[in-house]
Amino acid sequence: MRLYVAVLIIILIENWQFKGNAQLQSIYDLKYWRCFLKKHYVCPDNNVKYYLYTPETGQKRLRIDIRNNLSLRLSGFDPERKNVIIIHGFNGTESKTPMTILRDAYLYRKDYNIFTIDWAGLTNFPCYLSSLSNMRLVAQCTAKFYAFLMDHGGQAEETTCVGHSLGAHICGMISNHLTIKQHKIVGLDPARPLIDRYANKYFRLTKDDAHHVQIIHTNAGFLGEVNQVGHIDFCVNGGMRQPGCKGRQIRIARCSHFQSACYFAKTVRYPKSIIGYPCDTSCPKSKRNWNYLPGPSTPMGHDTPYGMYGSYCVQTDTKKDCPFD
């Protein structure tokens, strides 16, 4: 573990130190074992792909190329609709669960342009450290994509970035490259490993990254971050272990981490289907005492009113519509 941390620190220091000094930095991407460490930061990059799904195309995706000014219009993008940008986490892809569950929930509504980001080639198991480093490139390119979307009629106040795990931090890191604040970010159990101890605020999701940042905690303290992170945080079922997740410790953790996306997807489909009640900012909760506080309840997820803040506790039943394997 100590070695891994040392390697991470070297990567991070190297990347930050030479930021303004690009000519000194090796421009060759580094391949080691099964891992891929990007050192060449030019966008667009073929390892970071953008797709659009619309109510008309359904589950058929269309690739968006920001070098082509017509690319959005030809793909069926409708500027009158709201936009969501969905970013997967470590060892994920845009075309696998739980991202497809989110996509399908938005498709069901029919009022969104659904953009998904695929950075699967830069985040393979077990290459967590290079994934962390590569997030900087993904954020840089996604900021460029975001600007492209705004240039072509997208409305910032109607655009939400939804990220799972490391993807949540990427939603936040996009801000490092924008001059105008994003409107809304939903962080689905933002990744904790190493980020909690070693990443500064430019390297993680914070509430400075958008006017409204919502966090849904489902594996707090292990794969997910603890306590209050955003303007409004929901600590679900005690925040750590989700009902229906069975098996070995690591499987329970991964399954619970994954459920954040399913809970959110449910609220996208069914308005106000999950309700949170005020409680203190600690998450995870100790087994018995969730420290409920007086005050009004609020819907979690898609319909949380803009401007709501605080920490809320949620209790849900077992989800049968959230396949995890």
Contact criterion met (CB below 8 Å) for 230 and 266: no
Kindly provide the residue ranges of all beta strands, DSSP E only, lying in the chain, ordered along the sequence.
30-32, 35-37, 49-53, 62-64, 82-87, 112-118, 159-164, 182-188, 210-217, 232-236, 275-278, 298-299, 310-314
How many residues lie near ligand NAG (CB under 6 A)?
4
Q: Least distance to ligand NAG from the beta carbon of 41, Å?
A: 22
Q: Is 125 in the site for ligand NAG (CB under 6 A)?
A: yes
d(CA 240, CA 284): 6
Crossing angle between the packed helical segments 166-173 and 128-151, to the nearest 10 degrees = 50
Q: Which residue matches tokens 């949170």?
A: 276
Cβ atoms < 10 Å from Cβ of 73? 13
Q: Least distance to ligand NAG from the beta carbon of 85, Å?
A: 20
Q: Is 176 in the site for ligand NAG (CB under 6 A)?
A: no
Q: Least distance to ligand NAG from the beta carbon of 68, Å?
A: 8
Given 69, 200, 297, 318, the residue binding ligand NAG (CB under 6 A): 69
Q: Is 16 in the site for ligand NAG (CB under 6 A)?
A: no
Q: Is 91 in the site for ligand NAG (CB under 6 A)?
A: yes
Whose Cβ is closer to ligand NAG: residue 251's or residue 272's? Answer: 251
Q: Is 97 in the site for ligand NAG (CB under 6 A)?
A: no
Q: Is 108 in the site for ligand NAG (CB under 6 A)?
A: no
Tell the burial category of 74 from Cβ atoms under 10 Å away from its Cβ (0-12, 13-18, 19+): exposed
Whose Cβ is closer to ligand NAG: residue 101's or residue 274's? Answer: 101
Whose Cβ is closer to ligand NAG: residue 223's or residue 226's? Answer: 223
Q: Which tokens go with 232?
A: 């409004």
Whose Cβ is closer to ligand NAG: residue 111's or residue 151's? Answer: 151
Whose Cβ is closer to ligand NAG: residue 248's or residue 287's? Answer: 248
Residue 324 per-residue DSSP state: -
Q: Least distance to ligand NAG from the beta carbon of 179, Å?
A: 16
Q: What are the φ and ψ backbone dihedral angles of 318, each rounded to 5 degrees? A: -60, 140
d(CA 161, CA 157): 11
Q: Is 4 in the site for ligand NAG (CB under 6 A)?
A: no
Contact criterion met (CB below 8 Å) for 219 and 283: no
End-to-end CA distance of the chain: 27
Which residues are registered as beta bridge partners of 64?
50
Q: Is 273 in the site for ligand NAG (CB under 6 A)?
A: no
Q: Least distance to ligand NAG from the beta carbon of 176, Å?
A: 23
Q: Least distance to ligand NAG from the beta carbon of 117, Å?
A: 17
Whose Cβ is closer to ligand NAG: residue 88's or residue 212's? Answer: 88
Whose Cβ is closer to ligand NAG: residue 91's or residue 282's? Answer: 91
Q: Is 151 in the site for ligand NAG (CB under 6 A)?
A: yes
Q: Least distance to ligand NAG from the beta carbon of 257, Å?
A: 10
With a CB cutoff of 8 Å and minimum separation 6, the contacts of 286 are none
Give the binding site for ligand NAG (CB under 6 A).
69, 91, 125, 151
